[in-house]
Amino acid sequence: MTTRPVIGIPAVFTTAQWGFWHEHAHLVADTYLAAVWEAGGLPIIVPPLGGGDPDAMDQVLERVDGLLLVGGADLDPLEYGEHPHELLEETSHVRDSYEIPLVRRAIERDVPLLGVCRGLQVMNVAGGGTLHQDLVHAGFSDHRPAPGHLDHTTFHETRVAEGTALAGIVRADTLQTNSHHHQGVATVAPGATVAARATSDGCVEALEWPANRFTVGVQWHPEKPRMTAFFSALVEAASQRRTDA
């Protein structure tokens, strides 16, 4: 039997209710878990425990073959040296204090990494970049046209840069992507390159780190509707890393 590469997915820390219980919980939506499993990976939920302790980060990265960063709350602008804007929405100190140092270490160690929506923003901040705290205020068009939806009502055209890893994944110059974010990449992190922009307003839609094996972040949600090629690329890179270890 072929051993599936382990894909760690840092969880969302929230309060949830099930049965008789109403407790703090560490959650990952099934859409992400199913996408990894269907691509041949073994998804493992990683709770954001231990803060930014380097030893804890390394122990996680030694036990996984790749990472998938999921969507969620705004990043605290203090993480990239700015004061909160009045249009800033809910943030999660628990996630920020865990995911940012984890991703910084993952990039340094060349652990295969796919970031989705907030995940892209975490990657950019971890690498030393900044964010627009509200895209409309920054002069971009509305990138969250239908809150709570990821279907055709949110689709827009995205142009892919030639010669990028992203172009190799999607095998197209343009594609339709869904949109559910009000923040976006401002200053691009050193070492990263812009792999895609929204055709309508030039908003950064994808980043990648060319020096790494597979370090790609997209602003859209390839888990729903499923864009299988992204998860297959992550799992393939993670499998290769395991073989090379």
Residues 27-83 have pLDDT tens digits of: 999 999 999 999 999 999 999 988 778 898 999 999 999 999 999 999 999 999 999
Q: Give the count of beta carbons closer than 10 Å to the beta carbon of residue 158.
A: 26
CATH number at residue 163: 3.40.50.880
Q: For CA atoms 227, 228, 231, 237, give the dihedral sign.
A: negative
In a domain, 1, yes or no: no
Please state the rounded mean pLDDT for residues 112-134.
98
Q: Give the count of beta carbons closer than 10 Å to the beta carbon of residue 173.
A: 10
Whether 1 has a pLDDT exceeding 70, the answer reads no
CA distances from 88 to 54, 134, 238 (A): 29, 7, 35
* Catalytic residue (one of 99, 205, 208, 223): 223
In a domain, 123, yes or no: yes
Assigned token pair, 123 = 């990657």
* 145-197 tens-digit pLDDT: 999 999 999 999 999 999 999 999 999 999 999 999 999 999 999 999 999 99
DSSP conformational letter for 38? H
Say what the pTM is: 0.96
* Catalytic residue (one of 23, 90, 221, 236): 221
For strand 66-69 and strand 12-18, is the pairing parallel, antiparallel, or unpaired?
A: unpaired
Please state the rounded mean pLDDT for residues 193-217.
98
> Is-catalytic flag, 86?
no
As for how many domains the chain has, the answer is: 1
In a domain, 71, yes or no: yes
> Is-catalytic flag, 117?
yes
In a domain, 116, yes or no: yes
> Is-catalytic flag, 223?
yes
* Catalytic residue (one of 99, 117, 156, 180): 117
Containing domain of residue 194, as a range? 6-244
Q: What share of the chain has pLDDT > 70, as a percent?
A: 100
